[in-house]
């Protein structure tokens, strides 16, 4: 695994342990070249999903992107990180078990909102309000960039 700090490809695993109810393995890694430390997760991927945007464009499903948007919606909410991890895994599992490789971005948005609504109303409202604009724009990147941490809007 390449070091994200210096690009050295010879990094060492310091510690491996199960995370999120054993659906992933968390590895702490160390880079001997620069001393950097980082974490990687290993997960079962049942199938390679492709997101179909409303404008018909397709892109590979990116769990990290999904996770980013959800974590931003969840910012400063009293929800345990493990709970958020479980929710994200649940969403991905649902998408993977739908039986189709192609998943409309709209479907992903709806499943995320459903999951958020069950866990935290404030996060749900944050996500849903941005999601509305996103549907109009049909652009996931814009969607993620509009979901800014609450502090950035002076809502401390
Ligand atoms: Zn390094």
26 CA distance to ligand 1 middle (Å): 19
pTM for the predicted model, two decimal places: 0.60
Q: Which of 39, 85, 37 is nearest to 63 (CA)?
A: 85
Report domain extents, the chain. 12-43, 50-149
Q: What is the CA radius of gyration of the chain?
A: 17
Q: Is residue 6 pLDDT above 60, yes or no?
A: yes
Q: Give the containing element (helix H, strand E) for 30.
A: strand 24-30
**Helix H or strand E segment including 109:** helix 105-119
User: Does residue 144 surpass a pLDDT of 80?
Assistant: no
Give every strand in the sheet of 102-104, ordered side by side: 58-60, 50-52, 102-104
The Å distance, Cα 132 to ligand 1 centre, comes to 41
Distance 11 CA to ligand 1 centre (A): 8
Ligand 1 center from residue 61 Cα (angstroms): 28
Choose the most confident range, by mean pLDDT, from 11-15, 62-66, 98-102, 129-133: 11-15
For residue range 79-124, list pLDDT tens digits in order: 888 889 899 999 998 888 887 889 998 889 889 988 998 999 888 8
Q: Say yes or no to pLDDT of 153 above 60.
A: no
How much distance in Å is there from the Cα of 39 to the middle of ligand 1? 13
37 alpha carbon to ligand 1 midpoint, in Å? 8
Taking Cα atoms as reference points, which of 69, 13, 5 lies closest to residue 33? 5
Gap from CA of 36 to ligand 1 centroid (Å)? 5
Summary mean pLDDT of the chain: 82
The pLDDT value recorded for residue 136 is 54
* Separation in Å, CA 63 to CA 6, 131, 154: 24, 17, 29
């Amino acid at each position: 695994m390449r070091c994200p700090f210096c690009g050295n490809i010879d990094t060492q695993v310091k510690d491996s342990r199960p995370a999120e109810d054993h659906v992933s393995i968390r590895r702490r890694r160390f880079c001997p070249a620069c001393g950097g430390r980082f974490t990687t997760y290993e997960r079962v991927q049942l199938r390679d999903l492709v997101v179909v945007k409303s404008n018909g464009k397709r892109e590979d499903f990116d769990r990290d992107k999904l996770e980013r948007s959800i974590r931003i919606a969840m910012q400063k909410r009293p929800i345990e990180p493990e709970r958020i991890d479980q929710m994200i895994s649940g969403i991905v599992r649902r998408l993977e078990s739908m039986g189709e490789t192609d998943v409309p971005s709209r479907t992903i948005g709806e499943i995320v909102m459903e999951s958020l609504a069950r866990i935290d109303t404030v996060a749900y409202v944050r996500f849903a309000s941005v999601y509305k604009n996103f549907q109009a724009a049909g652009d996931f990147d814009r969607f993620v960039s509009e979901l800014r941490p609450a502090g950035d809007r002076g809502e401390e």
